[in-house]
Amino acid sequence: MPQKDISVTRQGRSLAEQEHLRPQKNHIRPAVDIFETEQDLVLVADMPGVDKERLDINLERGILTLKGEIEASNHREPLFREFSLGGSYYRQFELSDVFDSNKTSAEFKNGVLTLTLAKSEAAKPRHIEIQH
Amino acid sequence: MANWDILQEMESLRREIDDVFRGFGTARLLGPTFLPRLSGREYPHINLSEDENNLYVEALVPGIEPQNIDLNVMKGSLTISGERQESESSGRTWHRRERGGGTFLRSIELPIAVNSERVEAQCKNGILTVTLPKAEGAKPKKITVKID
């Protein structure tokens, strides 16, 4: 099993962008799965209602920001409501700077975002052979 | 007080109390989108709306292939069931695991009669929209009052 060698926390650096300082009112924190394999760090987020074009993923100075605007709902007469259609998703993570930004891939399917960040060579676990 | 019905009053009181314990309001509207493991009865989350001709049920089903969702209309209720595959966990080091998986089944009682032959469903970006045309007899009729 690979070692946990990347730290994932949720602090933003600039005050205005920090997740916990943003107004709570209209933003939803998407539920995420984050796991590490030998080569990659993979983040999976539930973001139903977002169109691919309105999804904004940003990795800057070690801060990963997920943003997604939910398509405005149509104007039907609501009878019963359990989730809001409107507003946006917003969530941040702080990652240590050990990714190869050229090898990042994102996929969005059925309202689920899968983000694969390749570890840079320096961050990969290395086997050292013992010479006889 | 037209048609005051004790059973209906009790039902609405029960629902109000349930909502309090569930954290109805913004907490619920902004809550997790899919966690059937914890309470299969409440997932998927739904919105019910209507216009002149149709009832609409929208359900949050992120990460579920449309062919894995079962819809049934029977006797004035709509049942949504299916399963969300859980991701494999071996060989991985987990940092966070918030997304639920598993099977779900939810029945929604429809407030008016629908034409079950013409129900349509569409899945887009993890939101399932079911369009249920209202039965002819259930549509509101406009009556104009003539003034002599």
ipTM of the complex: 0.71
What pLDDT score does B30 carry?
53
Q: Is A106 helix (H, G, I), strand (E, B) or coil?
A: strand
Cβ neighbours of B139 in A, within 8 Å? none
Strands A77-81 and B46-50 come out as antiparallel
> What distance in Å separates residue A16's CA from the closest CA in chain B?
21
What pLDDT score does A39 carry?
83
| Average of per-residue pLDDT across A20-40 | 75
Cis? peptide before B44, omega within 30° of 0: yes
Rounded CA-CA distance A1/B91 in Å is: 5
Look at A34 and B96 and tell me if their CB atoms are within 8 Å.
yes
What pLDDT score does B22 carry?
57
Per-residue confidence in pLDDT tens, chain B, 148 aa: 456 677 777 877 777 776 666 554 444 555 556 665 555 557 788 888 888 888 899 998 998 988 889 999 988 889 999 888 877 777 788 888 888 788 888 888 888 888 888 899 999 888 899 999 988 877 777 788 888 7
Cβ neighbours of A80 in B, within 8 Å? 46-48
Phi, psi (deg, nearest 5) at residue B22: -80, -10
Q: How many helices (H) and strands (E) does chain A have?
A: 0, 10
Residue given tokens 């970006």 in the structure block: B125
B127 Cβ under 8 Å from any chain A Cβ: yes
Rounded CA-CA distance A68/B122 in Å is: 21
Nearest to A111 among B46, B48, B125 (CB): B125
Look at B111 and A51 and tell me if their CB atoms are within 8 Å.
no
